[in-house]
Structure 1
Amino acid sequence: MYFRPRLIPCLSITNRELVKTTKFKTPKYIGDPINAVRIFNEKGVDELCILDIRATIENREPDFDYLSDIASEAFVPLSYGGGIKTIEQIKKLFYIGYEKIIINSSFVNNPTLIKEAVDFAGAQSIVVSIDVKLDFFKNRVSYIKSGTIRVDEGPIELAKNAEKIGVGEILLNSINNDGLMQGYDLDLVKQVSESINIPVIACGGAKDIIDAKKVIEEGKAHAAAASSMYIYYGRQKAVLITAPTEQELIDIGLYKFEY
């Protein structure tokens, strides 16, 4: 038996530019998203996650024309999140080539939309994103609208609600760890993963594939999403889009055969 957890590059875009944030703030221009997608095609990654980090804040719908351009260049499965408010938008995203839809703010503001989406596309195609930040008292609290609005429910409660509605996966983001390249919030990921029976994709803080291994083995995540580790190289954080090889993942014991 071959154990092969998913490693997912997560690309943040705004105004048709590829950017990288730190703690969900100060987006830094990195390059052209379509060029990045082409490179990841060559690297043979499992899938790609595209997030428009300003769409909801700016109260605009997904940029369908540009997202269609991205999809036409991608030879791997795509997921998308950002600015989604209606079932018509969701259907259009599937139509132009996206296999999974990621929903954050609308999950809290309009859970009926999630039910509609699951009924239309199936649980495996709908992902709820939960963004988490530590408050002054070190409690983990949940946010929507790109980390700008706090909600009453904590991450575990939101994850359980998403599972009840019927979504297929949770994308769990640590706002505190975003962009720091100091590792995932393992405690957060483990707590949420052990509270539900659907897969959790961990995101926020990965420096390298060792961090990915830790969040899967120690945090009990089903998949590891990351941005910085695929975009930056070296101490000076030079921009170099890359991905680990299959052999590198086998060598560290992340991919392995089980007899």
Structure 2
Amino acid sequence: MPRARIIPCLLVRGGGLVKTRKFGDDKYVGDPINAVRIFNEKEVDELIVVDIDATVEGREPDYAMIEHLAAECRMPLCYGGGVTGAAQAKRIMGLGVEKVALSAAAIAHPPLISEIAEQVGNQSVVVVLDVKKKLLGGYRAYTHNGRTDAKISPVDFAREAEALGAGEIMLNAIDHDGMMDGYDLTIAAQVREATRLPLTILGGAGSLDHMRQAVQKLGTIGLAAGSFFVFKGQYRAVLISYPSHPERAALQQQVAI
């Protein structure tokens, strides 16, 4: 049986590792290379690295940084940030990255999903949907670090992304980001129901119980988190951690049938 993946998500800004709250209030937490080395030792399932300013600043991915990270990384690596074309995606994959994450560029030009999938394979194309709950109900997707309302339904776009050849959906709940108060399982369930694609959820995990609740409701998914893996205690001291093998095994037993 496929098992739930437990995935640290590293946010990079100006070459440093940062952690945000609701896509703002960023705090420097260290060197991303050191974090990768620690996660190597802990034998993590997968790793996500996102350059959170590349798209906002309108620049290309930092290929030197990506190459350095990929060379250190001993687990599957997904990179996102600044990817706007198939040639860029192919170059990134050539550096040793297994998956490329698309957000603003895919929403602005959906055929890009197909173009990249044709170059690197469907399984390597991850479409990221950063979402907020609307005041009167429902959800909207946002881009550019949560600053731009894309005026689309994340559920509808997840279906479109699947039809265009995406291999995975990553759903990031902006209002839960860094709060460590649990995932937004409402929108996650809606997206899960809408497509057959593998789903990874991000935003809000603060404990293994939050992850258990997610797999109990959603089944086999990717469980991504940032703060949960880099902060310790109520004062949010920086301490990189990851569940032990017994903890991971216990979590797999919670997968819904």
Q: TM-score band (shorter)?
A: over 0.9
Name 1:68's counterpart in structure 2. Answer: 67
Name 2:252's counterpart in structure 1. Answer: 254
Deviation per CA, 1:166-196, whole angstroms, max 9, x where unpaired?
Answer: 1110000000000000000011101110111
Deviation per CA, 1:19-53, whole angstroms, max 9, x where unpaired?
Answer: 00100112110000000000000000001000011
Report the secondary structure of 1:218's partner residue.
helix
The 10-residue stretch of structure 1 (231-240 or 135-144) with the greater mean CA deviation from structure 2: 135-144
Mapped to 1, the partners of 2:49 and 2:35 lie a distance apart of 11
Offset of residue 221 of structure 1: 5.7
Mapped to 1, the partners of 2:110 and 2:2 lie a distance apart of 34
**TM-score, normalised to structure 2's length?**
0.95
Mapped to 2, the partners of 1:163 and 1:4 lie a distance apart of 21
What residue ranges of structure 1 are gaps of 5+ in the alignment?
Answer: none
Name 1:81's counterpart in structure 2. Answer: 80
Q: How do 1:123-142 residues align onto structure 2 when only pairs under 5 Å count?
A: 123-142=122-141
Name 1:122's counterpart in structure 2. Answer: 121
Name 2:158's counterpart in structure 1. Answer: 159
Name 2:170's counterpart in structure 1. Answer: 171
Offset of residue 92 of structure 1: 0.8
Name 2:208's counterpart in structure 1. Answer: 209
Name 1:57's counterpart in structure 2. Answer: 56
What count of residue pairs does the alignment treat as equivalent? 255
CA contact (8 A) 2:4 2:220 kept: no
The 10-residue stretch of structure 1 (142-151 or 38-47) with the greater mean CA deviation from structure 2: 142-151
Does 2:242 correspond to 1:243?
A: yes
Offset of residue 4 of structure 1: 2.4
Mapped to 1, the partners of 2:24 and 2:218 lie a distance apart of 25
Mapped to 2, the partners of 1:53 and 1:255 lie a distance apart of 34
Offset of residue 256 of structure 1: 7.5
Mapped to 2, the partners of 1:92 and 1:121 lie a distance apart of 10
Amino acid at match of 2:21: T
Name 1:146's counterpart in structure 2. Answer: 145
What residue ranges of structure 2 are gaps of 5+ in the alignment?
Answer: none
Name 1:198's counterpart in structure 2. Answer: 197
Amino acid at match of 1:239: V
**TM-score, normalised to structure 1's length?**
0.95
Deviation per CA, 1:117-145, whole angstroms, max 9, x where unpaired?
Answer: 11111111000000101233243111111
Mapped to 1, the partners of 2:2 and 2:220 lie a distance apart of 14
Mapped to 2, the partners of 1:249 and 1:50 lie a distance apart of 22
Mapped to 2, the partners of 1:249 and 1:122 lie a distance apart of 29
Mapped to 1, the partners of 2:32 and 2:169 lie a distance apart of 24
Quote the sequence identity (%): 40
Offset of residue 100 of structure 1: 0.1
Report the CA distance shift for 1:199/1:205 in structure 2 as closer, same or farther (over 3 A): same
CA contact (8 A) 1:233 1:240 kept: yes
Mapped to 2, the partners of 1:114 and 1:135 lie a distance apart of 27
Q: Displaced runs of 4+ in structure 1, greater than 2 A?
A: 135-139, 253-257
Report the secondary structure of 1:213's partner residue.
helix
Mapped to 2, the partners of 1:14 and 1:30 lie a distance apart of 11
Q: How do 1:23-38 residues align onto structure 2 when only pairs under 5 Å count?
A: 23-38=22-37
Name 1:109's counterpart in structure 2. Answer: 108
Name 1:16's counterpart in structure 2. Answer: 15
Amino acid at match of 1:229: F
The 10-residue stretch of structure 1 (114-123 or 137-146) with the greater mean CA deviation from structure 2: 137-146
Mapped to 1, the partners of 2:138 and 2:219 lie a distance apart of 21
CA contact (8 A) 1:184 1:204 kept: yes
Amino acid at match of 2:51: D
